[in-house]
Amino acid sequence: MVNKITVVGAGNVGATTAQRIAEKELARTVVMVDVMEGIPEGKGLDQWQSAPIEGFDARVIGTNGYEEAHDSDIVVITAGIARKPGMSRDDLLNTNAGIVKQVSEQIKSTSPHAILIVVSNPLDVMCYVAMKVTGFPRQRILGMAGVLDTARYRAFLAEALDVSVRDIQAMVLGGHGDTMVPLISYTSVSGIPITQLMTQAKLNAIVERTRGGGAEIVKHLKTGSAYYAPSSAAVQMCESIVLDQKRILPCAAWLEGEYGMSGLFLGVPCKLGRSGLEKIIEVELTREERDALAKSADAVREPMGAVKL
């Protein structure tokens, strides 16, 4: 347990993230910040009143300012507008860049030693915005993308094979978008290569569904986007950091030569411990996977160049 975790944004993703953090008692105090007057206060109070029933002692506080968030150990940034049907993640670019910039300035001022977990879309570019504004080292800025994309991939595979999701081992790398790279060469079911259990055509269809997993949910909801799985993914990252679990999770990290690339955030296997990013794991990729990862990196660099800070 750490002393304080702050979640910026009290919408569906932020509020669900705060609730999960409190229920897991990852911090003594969970602060939920949002500019909408009354929303974080009301949701925080509601969550705190669930504590006697759910059996947790983590104090949940909702606020419109950052005073209560000072000296946070971890800050999860979920603030920003959500996707609507027909919108790509990049459509959100400069609106959310402005929001994340303002949030990052507040974090730099009030929690200069915090580890940041960015959830706002477009994810990889928002990580870049947070790094540029705060000046934090790469060990303390991570993007929640690969954990969510991998969860979707695993869920679709388990459904298709009629097996437990717990027996699916998989990893999705690259940018958080249509160019993400599910690693088929590292996908297995209790150690059995996925290619022995499923036709290539079926596997290709699942890969494509994974890439459009967020858009599929947006299409159903019509007025919002996913939040149960994204919040679970962010909390899994928090848990590995708080408990120093050394989990190997696919996260957006700032590359400095890994995989032959530098100067961008991209989803790669990361070891997460108490200091944040402890190591980027470089795995051997097939030629097709290397080419796909390079293509995904190009798709991240383009909006990076267009963002206005």
Residues recognised as catalytic: 176
User: Mapping DSSP to helix (H, G, I), strand (E, B) and coil, where does residue 117 land?
Assistant: strand
DSSP for 182-219, written as a single string: E-GGG-EETTEEGGGTS-HHHHHHHHHHHHTHHHHHHH
The DSSP bridge partners found for residue 189 are 168, 192
Characterise 263 by phi-psi region: left (phi > 0), alpha (psi -120 to 50), beta (else). Answer: left
Show the tokens assigned to 201. Answer: 């055509």
Kind of pairing, strands 74-77 and 115-118? parallel
Distance, CA of 161 to CA of 239 (rounded, Å) = 29
Largest CA distance in the chain: 55
Q: Which amino acid is at 21?
A: I
The DSSP bridge partners found for residue 279 are 271
Show the tokens assigned to 15. Answer: 């509020």
Show the tokens assigned to 91. Answer: 């459509």
Cα torsion angle, 167, 228, 219, 124, sign: negative
For 182, the enclosing helix (H) or strand (E) is strand 181-182
DSSP for 238-300, written as a single string: HHHHHTT--EEEEEEEEEESGGG-EEEEEEEEEEEETTEEEEE------HHHHHHHHHHHHHH
